Amino acid sequence: MLIQIALITSVILQFGAFFNTLTLIRRTKFNISWITISIAFFLMAVRRISELAVFIENSPRSTADHFNNWIAVFISLLMFIASFYIRRIFNLQARIDRMRKENEARVLSAIIETEEKERKRFSRELHDGLGPILSSVKMAFSAIDKSLATPRNKSIIEKTEASIDTAIDTVREISNNLSPHLLEKFGLKKAIHTFYHNIPQPEKPLFHLTTTPEQIQLPYNIEVILYRIFCELINNTLKHANARNIDISLFHPHKELELHYSDDGTGFNPSDQDPVGTGLANIRSRVKSLDGKVDLHTGNNKGFFLKIKIPL
């Protein structure tokens, strides 16, 4: 009777070990070796059932048969325990992978944050340092009495004033690109619109930007990264895509931010991981710093679509 109960327990343990290994198949990404192990566990469980069936027939059993049955029970117990420890190993590996991804995201975030601080410092130096100097030079030239100058000198003064105006505008543009002041004052939507409309290109694609809800409030560090990403994508479209339309959509459900960027341009071969000049690696690293995911769909003469999901 005792051996019969032990064999029933052995069957239960063997099937328990099988189900433990079966639930881990997806986590091994359907690795053929793990599938083979799971099948072996199942067949061993079936064998335990056959051994139990033979025992229940009450056929004469030798001492060696009893010994083998107890060995089988012990093996089933060990396999059941081992299956739980294997699960613990998988859980530990998943935790290590998660910690590695979190650490990578922290490092990338720190790098990007440092980069933005330096951009902001350079922007302030240009705006507060070089900007006033150029303005002072312009004021000095404006104070010159042109009526006393010869026509040639008058022409030189006017051209110099025009060059100074161009220099002031250039400094202002560089300063804004380094640290977008509109982003701080008016938010992401206004900053993207302004960036696009200030691009000095005569024939630009039609630009559509929609947000759901209409006003999206995000932390400034996230807005800066998204602004850089959109600027990169818009520049790529204008330089390489020959598109007629650019569409940007931002969706902000409860705890996730989803962004869609698309154009109807020439696209490119998706097998090229980072075609020359597209900066996709830079975009991916920025998204990764926010623990986000990038989904790219494109092809030769099939346009371009990029979806970004960022947890908030």
The pTM of this model reads: 0.60
Q: What letter would DSSP give residue 130?
A: I
Tell me the mean pLDDT in the region 256-273: 84
Quote the pLDDT of residue 64: 66
Closest CA relative to residue 220, chosen from 186, 268, 258:
186
140-188: per-residue pLDDT in tens? Answer: 877 787 777 788 888 888 888 888 888 887 777 777 777 677 777 778 8
Of 60 and 283, more confident: 283
Domain ranges in the chain are 2-106, 110-178, 181-311
Q: Which residues contact 105 (CB under 8 A, 6 or more apart)?
A: 288, 289, 290, 291
Tell me the mean pLDDT in the region 78-94: 81
Residue 141 burial (C-beta neighbours within 10 Å; 0-12, 13-18, 19+) = middle
Kindly report the CATH class assigned to 181-311.
Answer: alpha beta
